[in-house]
Amino acid sequence: MAHLLRISRYIDETNKKMGDFAGWLILAMAIVTFIVVILRYFFNLGWVWIQDSVSYMHGASFMLAAAYTLLNNEHVRVDILYQPLSEAKKAKVNIIGTSLLLFPFCFLIWFYGFEYVANSWAVFEGSKETGGLGGVYIVKSLVIIFPTLLFLQGVSEIIKAVEIIKKSGDLQTQTTKQVGPDV
C-alpha cells in the first residue's frame, strides 16, 4: 500500500502543478482581455491573434484545472446525502462514483476525442480566421490531456479512499463477517 500511496502523491503533485498553471493562465487571460478592451474602445485597434489567445487560455484553464478541482474535493456532488456520512462511508461512495461515473466519462472523452485530435494534428490545424493564431492542434490536444489527468486523479482518489477504509477497520470487519465469527 505504501507504494500505491507514493504513486497517489505523485499524481496529486502533478495535478496541483497543472492547477497552479491554470490559475496563472486565468490571470493572464484577464490581463489580455483587459488589454483587448482598452485597445478596442480607446484606440480603435484589434487583432484576431490576441482574441484567439484569450480563447486558447480559456479552454486550457478549464481542461487543466478539472483534475486539480477533483484533487481539492471541489467538484459537484449532492452534499445533503454525502456530508453526514462517516469518512469510511464517504470513501466507499467515492470509490463507487469514481469507478462507475468518472472512469467511463474519461474513457468516452478520450476515445471520441482521439480521432478529433489526430485529425487536427494531421493537418497542423491553425486558426480559421485570417491573422489568427496557429497551433490549434496543440490546444486541441487538451481534449486528450484533460481526461488523462482526470483519470489519473481518479486513481489517486481511489488509492486514498482504500487507505481510509483500511485505517477505519471496515475492511477487517467485512472480512470477519464473510468468514464468520472467531471461535
| Tens digit of each residue's pLDDT (9 = 90 or more) over 12-63 | 999 999 999 999 999 999 999 999 999 999 999 989 999 999 999 999 999 9
At 69 the pLDDT is 95
CB under 8 Å to 129, separation ≥6 — which residues?
48, 52
As separate numbers, helices (DSSP H) first and strands (DSSP E) second, the chain gives: 8, 0
At 183 the pLDDT is 43
Nearest Cα to Cα of residue 57 among 95, 87, 102, 22: 22
State the maximum Cα–Cα separation within the chain, in Å, rounded to a whole number.
87
Instruction: Please give the C-alpha separations between residue 107 and each of 73, 98, 152, 180, in angstroms, as whole numbers.
Output: 21, 12, 12, 39
Phi, psi torsion values for 36, nearest 5 degrees: -60, -45
CA 61 – CA 134 distance, rounded (Å): 19
Helix (H, G, I), strand (E, B) or coil at 117: helix
pLDDT band at 182 (very low <50, low <70, confident <90, very high): low
DSSP symbols for 4-43: HHHHHHHHHHHHHHHHHHHHHHHHHHHHHHHHHHHHHHHH
Average pLDDT over residues 116-139: 91
Tell me the pTM. Answer: 0.83
